[in-house]
Amino acid sequence: MPLLVYVGVLALGALAEATVGHRLELGGGRPNVVLLLVVAWGLLRGIEEGALAGLLGGLALDLVSGTPFGLQTILLGWIGGAAALGEATMARGGLGMLFGTAILATVTYHVVLVIALRAFGWDWPGGMRLVNILVPTIFLNCVCVPFAAAFARRIDRSFIGWRRMELE
């Protein structure tokens, strides 16, 4: 049940990223709302639900973006599952693990996206252009990831009573 609610949150995040995301731009970068929500859910709920949230969040981004269809779905599905590798959770890892995962996910997301788009025939932005976008995006994602994690945890905890009712 929490994942179904979270899918709605991911869809709203993709819509916000596509419509008002440019207003949040700072120094050439902007926060990746869906990426952060997927990473937070993967860290909170594990590999399976992280990958599923990534697939569904990527699908929402594919529906509103101009990238080749399926690229965001595959990429975010992989990142959502990979965020929970090593059996680490937000409860055990703390802020250091949260920030480290956000930085690694941001770099992986943007580099793989640029390489994949290049394979589809899109223009290469150049190394310095990529760095000029990536560095402010990393900073903004690090600022926003604690809020995404707290939001994911709040949604998960709001359904604890529902899970108890299902088990009885």
Which pLDDT score is estimated for 158?
Answer: 86
**pLDDT tens-digit readout, 74-94:** 999 999 999 888 555 555 667
Q: Say if 168 falls within a structural domain.
A: no
Helix (H, G, I), strand (E, B) or coil at 26: strand
The predicted model scores a pTM of: 0.89
CA distance 120 to 72: 13
| Residue among 96, 77, 90 nearest 38 (CA) | 77
Helix (H, G, I), strand (E, B) or coil at 48: helix
Q: Phi first, then psi: what are they for 121, rounded to 5°?
A: 100, 5
Q: Say if 166 falls within a structural domain.
A: no
Q: Say if 165 falls within a structural domain.
A: no
Through-space distance between the first and last CA atoms of the chain, rounded to whole angstroms = 16
Lookup: tokens for 105: 């996910």
CA distance 128 to 6: 36
Give the total number of structural domains in the chain.
1
CATH number, domain at 45? 1.10.1760
**pLDDT tens-digit readout, 6-53:** 989 999 999 999 998 778 788 888 999 999 999 999 998 889 999 999
Domain containing 8 equals 2-160
| Residue among 56, 52, 71 nearest 113 (CA) | 71
Which residue type is seen at 139? F
% of the chain with per-residue pLDDT over 90:
58
Rounded to the nearest integer, the mean pLDDT of the chain is 87
Q: Say if 82 falls within a structural domain.
A: yes
CA distance 8 to 163: 19
